[in-house]
Amino acid sequence: MTEPHPPLGSPRDRRTGGRLRRWASAAAGALALTAGLLAGAPQASAATLTEVTGFGSNPGNLSMYAYKPDTLPADAPLVVALHGCTQSASDYYSHSGWPKFADSYGFAVVFPQTGSANNANSCFNWFQSGDSSRGQGEALSIKQMVDKAVEQYGSDTQRVYVTGLSAGGGMTANLLAAYPDVFAGGSIDAGLPASCATSVSAAYTCMYSPPDKTPAQWGDLVRSAAPAGTTSWPRVAVWQGTADTTVVPANAGELRDQWTNVWGIGQTPSRTENLSGGTTLSVYDDSAGNAAVEVYSISGMNHGLAVDPGSGAEQCGTTGTYYLDTICSSYHTARFWGLDEGADGGGGETPGTLPAPTGLKVSGTTDTTASLTWNAVDGAASYEVYRGGSKVGTATSASYTDTGLATGTAYAYTVAAVDAEGAAGAKSAPVTATTGGFTPTCHTASNYQHTTAGRAHQSGGYTYANGSNQAMGLWNTHITHTLKQTAAGYYVLADSGCSG
């Protein structure tokens, strides 16, 4: 059975005429970015997901839907969530998991919706500059939705974020580039670099074989799209499945290059972590030691949004076509943006006044533990210890040992002093602890995907595993192998069976 090639759809009829609409209908089985994205879409009630009208001139001809928790504090964050092709606001609301964290963390969510009047397959037109540039088309309509939500919900204009899947991910990247003064952060799920394409044909190239530009070239595309003189940039998360054949994994590397360059930082991760669902997180810190860019690579996942149904604190969403049961991307994205800081639903606890601990250092590690020490803070009754931004323990003295860690993994820690009333003060500067040993991981993908993910290389049209140099056959998307990573940069063939 051959792989489906889903339709991108045609540009808006009023610009291109009926001829392109007829062309798009004829090409519905051959174009890309939306294969099977139509999932069963439970209809949300008016009490949960509500249409908002009168949000501006709406040059992009979009619809605005919003979710406001029953309890929403003043100056709460705002998240904009963009669906994929053939999907809707209701579909994304039902599957993505964002309403759960809007309730628990206290923020509103705007779900923009496009339709067939704009694009034959209800895609956001990320590949049309007239729809994805500042002050134009769909991009301006989304900016007007943000303004309306700020007015209606009293949202904090300094904490507005945008995320999107597939075509919505491509539009997310363009919005971050065009409106860095509006969006404090973004999350691009199975999407494309900003300004990667300005036509349908270029869109195919981006999806299947993205241009291998230098980080500076990618960064220049963002800088040229932003207002002149911009110096403050959004924090960007990139989510990508290693088995994605609709938006190939190489796009994640180009997105990393683009946004690390914009931030003026290198392309070598500050640290990596192994998460659930076969997910590897690579973190790129800014000069102050804060995560500016994060890349989440999900082993074996095809094209779609990562969800993890369940009632656990780190779980979210429901499965469906192109909503894939691996890991809750919305949870990790919300934490990356700091939306969990007000997790009591009432704006968070009153912050303490104690200063940040100094002298935090790693005093020792084993294969599964990391020990920390720091300078005591006057007036501290205890200390809270955070791993990757989440609280993992409390200490009554200026030391702590974290246990149960994965082998061969880097973890970032910070510490805050807690006063006698139980209020935590400012967090310390981060340190990174790397456990000993190495945790084997298994990856099943085509030879082409293995090379773009850095697990193999090609020479003379043939593929070879990195490290072991074992022959894997022709370099193409048709031959599939399982590789087991047994050490840093070392992979062996494991087609007969592979366990971590």
Residues that are catalytic: 166
Q: What are phi and psi of 148, to 5 degrees?
A: -65, -45
| CA–CA gap between residue 210 and residue 173 (Å, rounded) | 15
CA distances from 115 to 121, 130, 165 (A): 7, 17, 16
Task: Name the 3-class secondary structure at 175.
Answer: helix
* Residue type for position 130: G
Does residue 306 come out as left (phi exceeding 0), alpha (psi in the -120 to 50 range) or beta? beta
Reported as half-sphere exposure (CB side, CA atoms, 13 A), residue 359 has a value of 8
Q: Given CA atoms 31, 33, 35, 41 in this order, what sign does their dihedral have? A: negative
| CA–CA gap between residue 276 and residue 114 (Å, rounded) | 33
Produce one character per residue of 127-141: b if its CB has 16 or more CB atoms within 10 Å, e if not. Answer: bbbbbbbbebbbbbb
Q: Strand locations in 48-177, DSSP E?
A: 49-52, 63-67, 78-82, 108-113, 160-165
- What is the CB neighbour count within 10 angstroms for residue 352? 19
Please check whether residue 180 is in contact with residue 233, taking contact to mean a CB–CB distance below 8 angstroms.
yes
* Residue type for position 353: T
Q: How far is CA 159 from the centre of its chain?
A: 17
